[in-house]
Structure 1
Amino acid sequence: MAKVNLKFLQLFDSHAQFHAFSLVIFMIIGAILETFSIGIIPTFIYLLNKPDIIENNVYLHWLSQLLRVNSNQQFLIYLTIALIIIYVFKNTYLTFFAYIQSRFIFTQQINLSRRLFSSYLSYSYTFHLERNSAELIFHLNNEVNTAFRQVIIPIMTLATELIIVTFIVVFLIIVQPLASLISVCLIGISVSIFYKFIHKKAQILGKKRQYHHSKMIQGINECLGGIKEIKVLRREKFFIDEFINHSRKYNNISLWITTINATPRLFLETIAVTSILLIVIIILIQGKNIDSILPIISLFAIASFRLIPSANRILVSLISIRSHYNSIDVIHHDLELISENKTKNQSNQSPETILQFTDSISIKNIHYQYPNSSYSSLENICLSIPKNHSIAFIGTSGAGKTTLVDIILGLLTPIQGKVLVDGNNIQDYLKDWQQKIGYIPQNIYLADDSILANIAFGLPAEKIDKEKVYQALEAAQLKELIDSLPRKLETKVGDRGIRLSGGQKQRIGIARALYHNPEILVMDEATTALDNETEREFIKALDRFSGKKTIIIIAHRLTTVQKCDHLYLMEKGKIVSSGNYDQLSTNCDKFMKLNGVK
């Protein structure tokens, strides 16, 4: 249990932990009010039954004189009004407590979602290569929600109800020791046996439900992501069957968990009624008359009326915690993993650090091997890229071109060697280095938003410079097309740019890279989706940056790289030849074969 509490607390920062502990004070005040409101009812009933006690009891007589009442009836009216005020005050306080507790919980849920999402985004690129995106989406959307609603809220409920139950039970033991102890033992043993019987089953069911829910989300993502291939191949039935299979199992398990959660109340009602009747038997055996036991019976009846819901909430909370605690484990594991493996640009770089790029980019003895891979993707890569020169990496698929560019971008950290800019290691200036780069990937990601928002990607509307947008559109050969659209820059592109052609999506990606006027342009198969005419226009547009920007290109289509200052032919993670286009066309057999000459 201590381990559980430790993990629970580690989901909160120190301020939130202090706030959580301060709620205990509110819980104790609530428990005192609950106990007092229960204890006063039997006294009220006893006075209604025997009003003469008011005159005979020293304290009640003193109170009646203080209130200046003229009769027992008037005293009882005042007492009734006081009772109403007490209950209104108690329930108003408990409503206020429920509000501040809920506000705390939901504020912390937002904070935890932000922490987890920020951690995923700030973690290394390698982390995202190794993790399934559907899994991360599931953790953010489902596990955080489950952790709070099915574990943390039940823990808070458990703490609140345990405090209330403790106060009421202690009060009952003081009033009627023997009957109370027998009832407590009976209920305690019964609840323990019941909980032990079902908690392990609930825990196993919770893990199974989590697994099938995760598979449902993963299946939806994969299906919608590959909808074109699925429809062409007529594979809809396979994906529907897979989804329904996991959905059916998820719902069957949910049915059992819901049934388990419903049983404690019925079980506790049976035990409570049995306990009250046993108390009646015990008091009658003690030889007391009906009039004398009426207040005691009413006390236990009212206490049971309050304790049954509390005991039910305690049991349901315990079952819920056991059923869903794996969500805490999952989130805790991700936060711990990310905490132990902070990226260097977070831990080492100061915001004031500025990387100057005036001379060249030097790649020194780069070696790289992907995690869990048995072979090296790059071996002993050495080259230099002078500022404002254009270079290209060419070669067949799997040659290591993209891996090398990912290292230059700072997304991957080499296991050996360095990327130096004017003699400075980019890993020490990662944030500033990446701000100098405009990156155009082969597969452009487009949000379901306007063309304007997609070009100024990640910027709020009020910070978008439309003049820069139009300059980028012109450079990407898109301005004419945009001007012809009815809504121009406000035209929606659809989910992942579904309303655009492949060439249009690629050119929006190019415009996005050019929007910030970067010093360095990195293009990873950026012209693959362009038709020949558009490619020629793009190359012509690219010529205007010749000698003004440093350009790094990955290409299969060699027409894209004819005007580059230097080409590097890669094969199996090594540079096997280099030179300009004409030199390689004349002297390199592998290049000529790649170019279709041989």
Structure 2
Amino acid sequence: MLIIFDPVVRRGLGALMRLAGVRAVPWIAVAVVLMLLQTALSTIPVVAMIPLMSLISGGGVDAGVVGVLAGWLGTTDPRVVIPLFALCIAVLFIVCSGLSVLLVWWQGGRSARLGVAANTAMLQAYAAEPYASHRRRSDAEILRNVGGTAIVGAALTGVLTVYTSALTLIAICAVLLIASPLVTLFTIVLFGGTMALTQRRLQPAQRRAGEASTEANLRSWSFLLPLVHGFREVRLSATRRRLLSEYEASQARMLGSNRLLATLGTIPAAVSQVIFALALAGVSAIMFSTGSAARTIAMLGLFGAAAMRALPTMNLMTQSIGGVRASEASMEILAAAVEDLSRADAHVEEPVVAEPLRGDIRLSGVEFSYPDAAAPVVSGIDLVIREHRTTAFVGSSGAGKSTIIDLVLGLLAPTRGAITCGGVPILDDPARWYAGLGVVPQDAFLLNDTVQANIAFGLPEDEIDPVRVRRALSLARLDDVVAELPDGVHTVIGERGSRLSGGQRQRLGLARALYREPRVLVLDEATSALDNDTEAQIAASLASLHGEMTIIIVAHRLSTVRDADTLVFLSGGRVRGEGSFAQVRAVVPEFARMVELGELGAERTVTAEEHAAPGAESS
């Protein structure tokens, strides 16, 4: 009954309402009004049974509601009045039940809308959190937490059901107290004491089962995702059986916990049926010992009518309490997640200033450390990336290239120092900075959608510019490939671009970046899957853009970085050399050795067939 005062429940439901952007007091006030209406609709038919039972036991027909009905019928004959009055009560039961269902539907709609808003807000919070925070999270954690809002939303419905049911039971008991105080008190003590004891014994088991179900759900996601997203690796490493076995075991634990919860939820109903039989015997004994047979029969009829309302209501209340208890683990997770996400500044997609940043990109005394790292990943970085020039970053694995790129992109904030473009700090208005960027990662994220939709990523179909799509395809040397596809740019490329070769997927990523017509184009190992001929064609395309945009390249292949205006060599998180390819090779022995050993790709030939997916066109 006092479940709302449980700190876990209050914290969880409070987090749900904050997520949904709902003001708690007005929302709850409307809920209370709806609960009172439902209570009235459940109680009115029971109240109407009192004069009917009085009639049956030989009461007069010339007073109250019965008198009104008798006057309307023009007779006081009980054989006429009683059946018609009973019919009126039956109609009242039907009307009140129908209205009650409508109120439940309305209340359920309010709770559902709140749940949808909270679910969307949770996903929005994860999508808008800082990149550094996002890197620390697992997919399984995010999927569980976003899905957990639905569980907490259901718990909110459960809490409302508990209090609506409780109010209904209190109202029914108040009516019965007026009719027969001693019998009602006996029934309240018997039912109330038994149900309270039952809930007290069930509560720890329901909480443990809910926690076990939540934990098993997280483990299920952690084994399902590799099977879906790591299909090739799973197939080639022969780990499918182990992952499936772990997934099956996690699902079995989750379903076993849910089965236990369902079973525990039926216990109160079973107990209430037994108690009802005992209560009926006790009520009969009390009434026959304290009143006439006629009155006893009438009162038993009233208590029977009340039981028709009270027993289902009591069972629904106890089941709802069990559901809320089982959801407490999800409530704790949700509250902790909302608190964690609220600490960070959310990314805003709309720039404060519409005009894109222009000018040289300058890194001044830049240092970056991850929160849990003992030493900086990069430090002492002082660089100028010239506007409309090509700058290449090279270095061995762990040199800090990816971190530098993430800093330049504005995804990470320097621990020390500053990054500016045209003298303006890029993090003063991140959305303004992002608006001028085009990024080509090594493994572009591709949708199971058309070529055109992947190039104009995130735009609705009616906003896609076909002229820009064709230009991007041409610059990425994909126009011939697309021309051979069954439906051209409207061909669906499959999940993660499965119908394309590795090189074609990389070029599609390049076309996506070029579609944005960026001022700064960043290629992060974006040519690693290309054959030599295609790479030469892409290099020619990039050369044609020289002077139009700033190009930043991260690569290991010698051919990719040889013609850059400026080459920056990184080692140990610091800049060890800067200048033309020949200059850096001459002054940095480590770079010279890398070139000689071919670590940058040297003179090997990569054919399109090496990277082509089964059935994909070679390129």
After TM superposition, the score normalised by the length of structure 2 is 0.91
Answer yes or no: is the 8 Å Cα contact 1:368–1:415 preserved in 2. yes
Counterpart code for 1:400: G
Q: 1:62 to 1:517 in 2, by over 3 A?
A: closer
CA-to-partner distance for each residue in 1:467-521, whole Å, 9 max, x for gaps? Answer: 1001000000000110111111111111111121100100000000000100000
Q: 1:197 to 1:2 in 2, by over 3 A?
A: closer
Instruction: Give 1:588 deviation, angstroms.
Output: 2.3
Residues 93-492 of structure 1: pairs in structure 2 closer than 5 A: 93-140=99-146, 142-149=147-154, 151-286=155-290, 288-343=291-346, 345-346=347-348, 351-354=351-354, 357-492=357-492
**Partner residue, 2:572:** 572
Answer yes or no: is the 8 Å Cα contact 2:361–2:385 preserved in 1. yes
Q: 1:302 to 1:594 in 2, by over 3 A?
A: same
Answer yes or no: is the 8 Å Cα contact 1:356–1:422 preserved in 2. no
Using the alignment, how far apart are the partners of 2:350 and 2:237 within structure 1?
52
Counterpart code for 2:139: S
Instruction: Give 1:200 deviation, angstroms.
Output: 0.4
Answer yes or no: is the 8 Å Cα contact 1:448–1:494 preserved in 2. yes
Q: 1:252 to 1:519 in 2, by over 3 A?
A: same
Answer yes or no: is the 8 Å Cα contact 1:355–1:433 preserved in 2. no
Instruction: Give 1:176 deviation, angstroms.
Output: 1.3
Q: 1:46 to 1:443 in 2, by over 3 A?
A: same
SS in 2 for 1:21: helix
CA-to-partner distance for each residue in 1:194-247, whole Å, 9 max, x for gaps? Answer: 111111011011111111111111101012222212212222221122112212
Using the alignment, how far apart are the partners of 2:588 and 2:312 within structure 1?
83
Answer yes or no: is the 8 Å Cα contact 2:419–2:426 preserved in 1. yes
Using the alignment, how far apart are the partners of 2:475 and 2:325 within structure 1?
59
SS in 2 for 1:596: helix
CA-to-partner distance for each residue in 1:254-296, whole Å, 9 max, x for gaps? Answer: 221121112111111111221121111112222x221111121
Answer yes or no: is the 8 Å Cα contact 2:57–2:295 preserved in 1. no
Counterpart code for 1:54: V
CA-to-partner distance for each residue in 1:402-441, whole Å, 9 max, x for gaps? Answer: 1011011110011111101121111111001001000001
Using the alignment, how far apart are the partners of 1:16 and 1:516 within structure 2?
43
Among residues 21, 26, 29, which one is paired with 1:18 in the alignment?
A: 26
Instruction: Give 1:252 deviation, angstroms.
Output: 2.0
Counterpart code for 1:304: A
Using the alignment, how far apart are the partners of 1:468 and 1:224 within structure 2?
34
Using the alignment, how far apart are the partners of 1:350 and 1:221 within structure 2?
33
Instruction: Give 1:80 deviation, angstroms.
Output: 3.7
Q: How many residues align?
A: 590
Instruction: Give 1:40 deviation, angstroms.
Output: 1.7
Question: Larger deviation: 303-312 or 401-410?
Answer: 303-312
SS in 2 for 1:595: helix
Show structure 1 runs of 4+ deviating over 6 A.
Answer: none
SS in 2 for 1:578: strand
CA-to-partner distance for each residue in 1:37-91, whole Å, 9 max, x for gaps? Answer: 01222432442453x6214x47744653366447544444542443233223212
Answer yes or no: is the 8 Å Cα contact 2:15–2:338 preserved in 1. no
Instruction: Give 1:28 deviation, angstroms.
Output: 0.9
Q: 1:163 to 1:360 in 2, by over 3 A?
A: same
Counterpart code for 2:430: L
CA-to-partner distance for each residue in 1:159-190, whole Å, 9 max, x for gaps? Answer: 21111111111221222111111211111111
Answer yes or no: is the 8 Å Cα contact 1:109–1:148 preserved in 2. yes
Q: 1:117 to 1:364 in 2, by over 3 A?
A: same
Residues 516-527 of structure 1: pairs in structure 2 closer than 5 A: 516-527=516-527
Q: 1:6 to 1:583 in 2, by over 3 A?
A: closer
Answer yes or no: is the 8 Å Cα contact 1:42–1:298 preserved in 2. no
What 5-or-longer segments of structure 2 have no aligned partner?
A: 599-619
Counterpart code for 2:26: F
Q: Percent identity?
A: 24
Using the alignment, how far apart are the partners of 1:356 and 1:91 within structure 2?
62
Using the alignment, how far apart are the partners of 1:271 and 1:99 within structure 2?
31
Matched, 1:54 2:51: no
**Partner residue, 2:602:** none
Q: 1:170 to 1:109 in 2, by over 3 A?
A: same
Using the alignment, how far apart are the partners of 2:397 and 2:124 within structure 1?
33
Counterpart code for 2:421: V
Using the alignment, how far apart are the partners of 2:302 and 2:30 within structure 1?
31
Matched, 1:556 2:561: no
Q: 1:292 to 1:443 in 2, by over 3 A?
A: same
SS in 2 for 1:54: coil
SS in 1 for 2:364: strand
**Partner residue, 2:41:** 33
Counterpart code for 2:259: L
Using the alignment, how far apart are the partners of 1:121 and 1:367 within structure 2?
26
Using the alignment, how far apart are the partners of 1:226 and 1:183 within structure 2?
61
Using the alignment, how far apart are the partners of 2:355 and 2:68 within structure 1?
85
Counterpart code for 2:46: I
**Partner residue, 1:545:** 545
SS in 1 for 2:327: helix
Instruction: Give 1:34 deviation, angstroms.
Output: 1.5
Q: 1:61 to 1:521 in 2, by over 3 A?
A: closer
Using the alignment, how far apart are the partners of 2:64 and 2:450 within structure 1?
81
Using the alignment, how far apart are the partners of 2:596 and 2:220 within structure 1?
46
Using the alignment, how far apart are the partners of 2:559 and 2:541 within structure 1?
14
SS in 1 for 2:412: coil
Instruction: Give 1:6 deviation, angstroms.
Output: 4.4
Answer yes or no: is the 8 Å Cα contact 2:15–2:334 preserved in 1. no
Q: 1:107 to 1:62 in 2, by over 3 A?
A: closer
Counterpart code for 2:333: V
Using the alignment, how far apart are the partners of 2:23 and 2:586 within structure 1?
69
SS in 2 for 1:418: strand
SS in 2 for 1:485: coil
Instruction: Give 1:337 deviation, angstroms.
Output: 1.5
Using the alignment, how far apart are the partners of 1:63 and 1:225 within structure 2?
73
